[in-house]
Structure 1
């Protein structure tokens, strides 16, 4: 019951001011027009969509926690369950990114008769989005007492996510960085979306670890 109340509240905040829907619509427009407008291949278009899904989830989840810090104070006092709140945030990240991944993939005209390709394509978008949501969750303190720490933390993680597999000096330790750049590099060297499945799994696990860490950090003793 507590989870349902909080989940409903979070979902309402996600959609209340149309920021998420506007960014999602922009992503779909890019997916529809990128090939003809910029004369790029479907693989490069999918790479752009991966980065777009990451930033879509990052910014929309940051905005969610901004609204949460201002609107949900009394609701959380009434519910009085930290773990119900944490699980609700996790479920919102899964639901919204699954919704985003499916819509972006379908309406970007990447959908194929190959079920494996379609499944991996959607799951990779979902995993990348979940990674963005997890980073925003880890540093949601930017809307609390440590705003500077949260902002700097997000900037650092975004930089590492984009450069971990691109900068040669970081290659030996790129496994400790968010795997977004690894997905992009792999897609450029082996232009088969199905090859991304192991890294998509790694990306989701990385996001899950960040979510777990954040749940422990923000738990009041």
Structure 2
């Protein structure tokens, strides 16, 4: 019951947010027109969509926590359940990123008769979105207690997400970095969306780890 109350509140804030909906439909419009306007291949367009959903989820989730810090103070005091709050935030990420991934993939005209390609294509978009949400969740402290730390943390992680497979110096520690750039590089090298499955799974697991780390970290901070 507590999860349901918080989840409803989070989803209302998320879907009533003009930033999310406007950005989502801008990405969809870009997906529809990119091939004709920019004369790029489907794979390059898909690479740009992976980056777009990552940024969409990152910024939308950050905005969600900002609104939460302003609007949900009394609701959280009433519910008074930290783990219900954590689970609600995770469910919001699952729901919204699934919604975004399906819409972007279908309406960007990438949908194919190959069911495996379609499923992996949607899952890869979903994984990139989850990665963005997880980074925003890990550093949500910027809206609650430590604004500078949270902002710097987001910037560092976003930089690492984009540069992990691009900068040779980071190749040795690539396995601990957000695998967004690895997905892009894999797509360019393999020239196939279906080849993204292992990296997409890695991105999803990475986001789960970030959610778990953030949940226990903020639980400890709350106790202190």
Provide TM-score, normalisation by structure 1.
Answer: 0.99
Superposed displacement of residue 195, structure 1: 0.3
Matched, 1:14 2:14: yes
What do residues 114-141 of structure 1 show as CA deviations (whole Å, max 9, x unaligned)?
A: 0000000000000000000000000001
Counterpart residue number, 1:63? 63
Unaligned ranges ≥5, structure 2: none
Matched, 1:76 2:104: no
Counterpart Cα distance in 2 of 1:12 and 1:141: 22
Superposed displacement of residue 17, structure 1: 3.0
Superposed displacement of residue 19, structure 1: 1.3
Counterpart Cα distance in 1 of 2:144 and 2:21: 26
Counterpart Cα distance in 1 of 2:82 and 2:32: 42
Counterpart Cα distance in 2 of 1:17 and 1:187: 32
SS at match of 1:218: helix
Superposed counterparts of 1:163-174, under 5 Å: 163-174=163-174
Which deviates the most, 170-179 or 157-166? 170-179
Unaligned ranges ≥5, structure 1: none
Counterpart Cα distance in 1 of 2:165 and 2:19: 31
RMSD: 0.5
Counterpart residue number, 1:147? 147
Superposed displacement of residue 172, structure 1: 1.6
What do residues 85-126 of structure 1 show as CA deviations (whole Å, max 9, x unaligned)?
A: 000000000000000000000000000000000000000000
Counterpart Cα distance in 1 of 2:140 and 2:150: 6
Superposed displacement of residue 18, structure 1: 1.7
Superposed displacement of residue 214, structure 1: 0.4
Counterpart residue number, 1:134? 134
Superposed displacement of residue 206, structure 1: 0.3
Counterpart Cα distance in 2 of 1:139 and 1:213: 11
Superposed counterparts of 1:22-41, under 5 Å: 22-41=22-41
Provide TM-score, normalisation by structure 2.
Answer: 0.98
Counterpart residue number, 2:98? 98
What do residues 135-180 of structure 1 show as CA deviations (whole Å, max 9, x unaligned)?
A: 0000001111100000000000000000000011111210110000
Counterpart residue number, 2:114? 114
Counterpart Cα distance in 1 of 2:152 and 2:26: 27
Counterpart residue number, 2:42? 42
Counterpart Cα distance in 1 of 2:97 and 2:143: 22
